[in-house]
Amino acid sequence: MKQLKVIPDIADVLLHSGNMRLLDSIVDYDAEFTIAAYTPVLGAWYADQEGNMPAWIGIELMAQAISAHAGLLKYGSTTLPKHGALLGTRSYQAFKPVFVVNQALMIHVTLVYRDISGLGAYDCRIYYQQTLADDSAPNLLAKATLKVFEPDNFQQFLQDHAS
């Protein structure tokens, strides 16, 4: 009998909290990818006059999905999620100026590279969630490659790299 995959609550794998947590849930994951969901809400700190999320915040959605992926890989073990750093992005492209309020987003992150030092790279995509009635291809909203680093000692990393 095939065992069902346990998908934990987002708070159990992502260190962000309060209004700085921009992910609602994990949709799916394995060792190589994570799909997270978020729905922009009216009145949020980032909302424009119409309640939409500016597309440049997509980089943060991607970074949080990567952080959730790292947390998911440790979930159920004695190793707790750690703080990481976004080192940079390669050619972030947003194909719409905003992510529309109350329209669910799917954030897909796929591991490209990770080494034992904690350095990694992920291909990232953001789509509007498809409904069962919508059989068209997903609407690509943004894409990028993000480079990240998960140091053993985050506080020491910050001290070493403070300007």
Buried b (16+ CB within 10 A) or exposed e, 85-98: bbeebeebebeeeb
Q: Which residues of the chain register pLDDT less than 50?
A: 132-133
Position 60 scores a pLDDT of 96
Position 83 scores a pLDDT of 80
Position 147 scores a pLDDT of 95
Query: What's the predicted TM-score (pTM) here?
Result: 0.88
Position 80 scores a pLDDT of 67
Residue of 127, 95, 93, 82 whose CA lies nearest to 109: 127
Two tokens, residue 130: 């498809």
Position 162 scores a pLDDT of 72
CA separation for the pair 38, 26 (Å, rounded) = 9
CATH architecture of residue range(s) 17-130+138-160:
Roll (3.10)
Q: Which residues make Cβ contacts (< 8 Å) with residue 108, sequence separation at least 6?
A: 33, 34, 35, 65, 124, 125, 126, 127
Domain boundaries, the chain: 17-130+138-160
pLDDT in tens, 128-153: 986 544 555 568 999 999 999 887 77
pLDDT in tens, 44-64: 999 999 999 999 999 999 999
Q: Which residues make Cβ contacts (< 8 Å) with residue 123, sequence separation at least 6?
A: 109, 110, 112, 143, 145
